[in-house]
Structure 1
Amino acid sequence: EGDTMAACLRCRRRLPLSPPAAPLEDDGLLSENLLRLPPQPSSLPRASAVCSRLLSDPAFRRRFRIHHRGSALLLGSFIHYPGITFQPAPDAPDRLPLEQFRLKLDDHYIALGCRHGLALFFLPIRLQVLVWDPLAGHQLRLAVPPDFEFQGAKGDISGAVLRAAGDVDHFRVVLVGCDGEQPRTALACVYSSETGVWGGCVSTPIPSEGLFIFRGEPAMLAGDRLHWSVTVAGSRGILKFDLDRQSLDLSLLPGDYYTPLSPEFTVVRAEGGRMGFLFLHRFIAELWSTKRNRDGVEIWTPGRSIELDKLLGLNSEKEPPQMIGYAEENNAVFFRAADADYMVHLESLQFNKLPKTTVGSYYHPFETVHTPEPGSELAARGLLPSLVVRAEGGGKGFLFLYRFTAELWSTKRNRDGVEIWAPGRSIELDKLLGLNSEKEPPQMIGYAEENNAVLFRTVDADYMVHLESLQFNKLPKTTVGSYYHPFETVHTPGQRHEAWSVLL
C-alpha cells in the first residue's frame, strides 16, 4: 500500500500544471482594469491597440459609460450669438474635431441647453425641437405638443434634455412654456425616447399681469428637479419641474433679490447637490443656499463670497464682469470681463482664461462621460430614424438611417450564447440612387415586408429599394407627411397555383 501511495505521489508531481491565464487573455481581469481608464476621449482609442476585441464589445462600452457617470468631462461649449459656434476645451489628444460640432441647419434655431452628451435646440418657425448627439452625428426632430403650438410676443418656450441615472440607452426632453393667454399658466410636457411619444401636460398658475420670459439661460438639474430662471411681471423667479412627481412650481427669488434692480443671478448647484443661487454685484459673487430654521421652515442663507477682481486680477475701476454660462456637472461659472472670458470652478476657485466673446453671447457647456463612435449602439437610443425590417433568415432586424447611409442591424449569439444586436450591411443611398449629398437627406416612408423593400422620399422623387438585391424603382414624389402602405399578394385572381409577389 505504501509503494502504491508513493507511486501516486510521483505521478502527481509529474502532472503538468495549467499555466495561469495571461492578463490580456483574462477578459474579467482586463475589463476591470480598462473600466478604470479616465473618461477622456483618447482613452479607449489608445487602449484599443492593446485589446480591440473587448473595447469593441457594446456591453463593455456601456459599462464604461455607467462606471464614469459621475465624472463628466467638459468637451467645450456652444456659444450662442451671433449664430452658434463651438469652442473646444481639452488639449490634444483629447480635443475632438470641430467638424463634429457644426450643426448644419437652414432653419432659424435657438439653443436650449446641453446635458449628458446631448444638445437641444428649438426651431420656432417649424415649431420643432431638435435633439442632437454631436459625437455620434445623430439627430432627431420632434414636433412640439399641440399645447405648445403658440407664437407671438406673449408666448415663450424653453426646455431641457437629459438621461435617467444609469440609463445610457434612452433620453427625455422636458418642454416648458407659457402661451400668454388668460388665465395665465406655465406648462410642462415630457417626451420619452423609450415610448416615442409626448406625455400629458402639467401646469402651474403664474401672475396675471406682465410678461413671462425665460431669461435665456438653460435649465439647471439638481437632484430630481430642473430649474429655469424666469422673469415674471418684472420680478425674478425660478420655474421648477419635478421629474419624479411630474409637477411644476413657480417661486420668486428670496428677500430683496427679486426686484428689477437686483444683482445678476444664476441658478447653480449648492453643497450636497441641492439648488443654490449665485448673485453677482459688480465684482462680488455671492453663493446662497437653503437651510431649515428652528421651526423646520426652509429659508435662504448667504454663503461664500468670491472677490472676482482679486481672484482673476481684474481692474475694479473698469466695467464689472457678467455671468454668461454655467457648467452644472463641473460646477463652474463663465464670466465675461473687460479683457477676456473666464471659467471659474466654484468649489476649488481654479479658473481658466478664455478668448473674449461678443456682447450678448452665452455659453452652453457640452459635458459628457464618453465619446461614442458613429454606427455604435447609440442608434438604439431613438436619435436615428429606424424601421423594423426582416433580417437574413426571416428574423427581426432594424434599418437605421443616418443622412445618406442606411445601416442594417440583426441579432446574433455571442460566445456565452446571449443574443446581442450587431450591425450588418451599410447602403450608401447617395451612390446607389445618384443623389446629391449636399441636399436634404432622404426619409424612410414605408416598408413592403414580403418584397423586403424600403420606400424613401428624396428631394426629387420617391424610391423603392430592395434590401437584398439593392435593385430600386423611381416613383412619383409624394407630399411631405405621406406614408406608403404597400399592398402585397402572392397570387392573382384565377391563378391560385402560381405563387408570386406583386406590389400594388
Structure 2
Amino acid sequence: MSENGGGTARRRRRGSATVAARTGVAPNSGDILWEIFLRLPPQPSSLPRVSLVCKRWRRLAADPEFLIRFRAHHRKAPLLGLFKEYGGWVSFTPVLGAPDRIPRRRFSMRIDYGGGAETHPFHGTLLGCRHGRVLAVDPRRREVLVCDPITGDQRRVALPPEFGTCGGAHGAVLCADGDEGHVHGGCHSSPFKVVLVQISFGPGHPPPFARVYSSETGVWSDPILAAEGSRGYVDLSRPSTLIGNSLYWWLHGSYLCNMEILEFDVGRQSLAVINSLPVGDTVKSKGCIQIIQPEDGRVGFAMLSYPSLEMWDLKDDCGGGVAAWVPRKTMNLDLVPNMRVTEASIVGYAEDDDAILIKFNNNIFIVQLESMQSRKLYDCFVRHQYHPFASFYSSGSAKRKA
C-alpha cells in the first residue's frame, strides 16, 4: 500500500512539474540550477557551453519544457544578423561577436528544387524577415518561398494568378500562433501567414488589394480591397513593419511630399491608405525615412537629416475623432565624432528592438530609438536595404550543413 501511494505521489509530482513549466512556475523551488539557467543570456552560445559541463546540465539545457520557459523568460529573441539582396542573390551577415557569431554559410539560402541531395543558391526577391522566418519570391517559378534558416525548413507556395511575377507587389510573413504566452523567434513548427499586397497607382487604376495565405489551411484568401486608391508605388527593397496586429508599407509617389503608408490589419482583414504625411524639404531621399513603432499612437515614422533624427506618431483621436500626425521628438546623432559625413541613410529597422540601421559613410550602425544608444555593427562600402533576423538559436534546433 505504501509503495502504491509513493508511486502515485511521484506521478503527481512529475505531472505538476510539466504543468508548472508551461505556466511559468519552477517545477522544484529548490532546484537552483533551473533558475540559474533561465537567467543565462539568450545568445546562441549560452546553453551549448553549459551543456559541456556534465550530463545533468546537458539534459536540462536540452529539455523541451525548459526551453519553453527559457524563451518565455527572455520574451525577445536576440538579433543574429542581417539578410540582404544584391542582384537577386540573398546573403546573410552575422552581427554577433565570438562565440555567438553564426557562420554566414549556415544561413545561406539554398533551394532543393528536385527533392534530391543537391541544392542550388536561391535567386529572387527578398521581401522580409519576421518571427524566425524569411520571405522571398521566386519569379521564375512564380512561387513564394518561406524559409526557416535555423531548421532548414522550406515551404514553397504558388503565387495567386493576379500577382504575376510579383511586380508592383510586396509581402510579409508572420507567425500565426495566437496562444497566450507564445514567444516569437522559437516557433519553428508554428503555423504562419503570408500577406501579399498589390498596388497600381495613377488615375484609373484599381485600389490596392491584399491576399492572405495560411499554412494551416494551405489556401489563399479572397482579395481584400482598400477603400481608396493610392498615388504611390510600393518599394520592393523596403520591408514591411509590424505594429500590433497591423502591417505597414511605404508607398512612394513622384515626389517625397506625396509619400503614403499602406496599412493592412491582419485581424480585421482590412486594407487602408494613410496619406498627408508631414514630410517636408528636409528629407532628401526615400532612404532617409522609416516606419517605426509609435510611442503613443497608431504608427510612427522617423526622418533622418543627419545629424538630426525626427520622429512622428499618428494619433487616431486628436479632437473631433480626426487622426493627425504629432511630433514625438527630435534628436541629434553623433555616431562618429569629428568625422566628415559623406553618406547618412536609414537602411533597415529591427522591430523587436525598436532600432534603426544607419549607413554612415562606410559603416553600419544600429540606433535604439528610446535610449538613443548606438553601436557599430560592421563596415559596409555598398548601400543595401537590410532585413534584421532575430531568433532563438540552439544547436538542437539547428540544421547542420555539409
SS at match of 2:162: helix
1:41 partnered with 2:44: yes
1:316-351 alpha-carbon deviations (Å, 9 max, x no partner): 5x4341111111111111111224221111122221
* Higher-RCO chain (CA-CA 8 Å, sequence separation at least 6): 2
Q: Distance in 2 between matches of 1:348 and 1:375?
A: 33
Q: Tell me which residue corresponds to 1:327.
A: 350
Q: Tell me which residue corresponds to 2:221.
A: 199
Q: Is the 8 A contact 2:197 2:208 kept in 1?
A: yes
Q: Distance in 2 between matches of 1:273 and 1:35?
A: 34
1:241-297 alpha-carbon deviations (Å, 9 max, x no partner): 101101111112423549996773110112258521101124311011134434343
1:171 to 187, 192, 209: 192
Q: Describe how 1:474-493 pairs up with structure 2 within 5 A.
A: none
Structure 2 CA distance for partners of 1:78 and 1:262, relative to 1, 3 Å: closer
Q: Which runs of 5+ in 2 are unaligned?
A: 1-12, 14-25, 111-119
SS at match of 1:312: coil
TM-score normalized with structure 2 length: 0.76
1:129 partnered with 2:144: yes
Identity %: 37
1:62 partnered with 2:68: yes
Q: Tell me which residue corresponds to 1:93.
A: 99
Q: Is the 8 A contact 1:280 1:286 kept in 2?
A: yes
Q: Tell me which residue corresponds to 1:361.
A: 384
Q: Is the 8 A contact 1:321 1:335 kept in 2?
A: yes
1:271 to 295, 300, 304: 295
Q: Tell me which residue corresponds to 2:78.
A: 73
Q: Tell me which residue corresponds to 2:133.
A: 118
Q: Describe how 1:422-441 pairs up with structure 2 within 5 A.
A: none
Q: Tell me which residue corresponds to 1:300.
A: 325
TM-score normalized with structure 1 length: 0.62
SS at match of 1:343: strand
Question: How far apart are 1:207 and its partner, in Å?
Answer: 3.8
1:140 partnered with 2:155: yes
Q: Which runs of 5+ in 1 are unaligned?
A: 1-20, 377-401, 404-436, 438-504
Size of the aligned set, in residue pairs, is 349
Structure 2 CA distance for partners of 1:108 and 1:63, relative to 1, 3 Å: same
Structure 2 CA distance for partners of 1:260 and 1:44, relative to 1, 3 Å: closer
1:254 partnered with 2:272: no
1:224 partnered with 2:230: no
2:304 to 263, 274, 280: 280
Question: How far apart are 1:368 and its partner, in Å?
Answer: 1.7
Instruction: Please identify, of 48-57 and 232-241, the stretch whose mean Cα deviation from structure 2 is larger.
Output: 48-57
Q: Is the 8 A contact 1:159 1:219 kept in 2?
A: yes
Q: Tell me which residue corresponds to 2:117.
A: none
Q: Distance in 2 between matches of 1:36 and 1:65?
A: 10
Q: Distance in 2 between matches of 1:88 and 1:360?
A: 17
SS at match of 1:51: helix
1:347-393 alpha-carbon deviations (Å, 9 max, x no partner): 222212233324441111111234363489xxxxxxxxxxxxxxxxx
Q: Describe how 1:341-380 pairs up with structure 2 within 5 A.
A: 341-371=364-394, 373-374=396-397
Q: Tell me which residue corresponds to 2:262.
A: 239
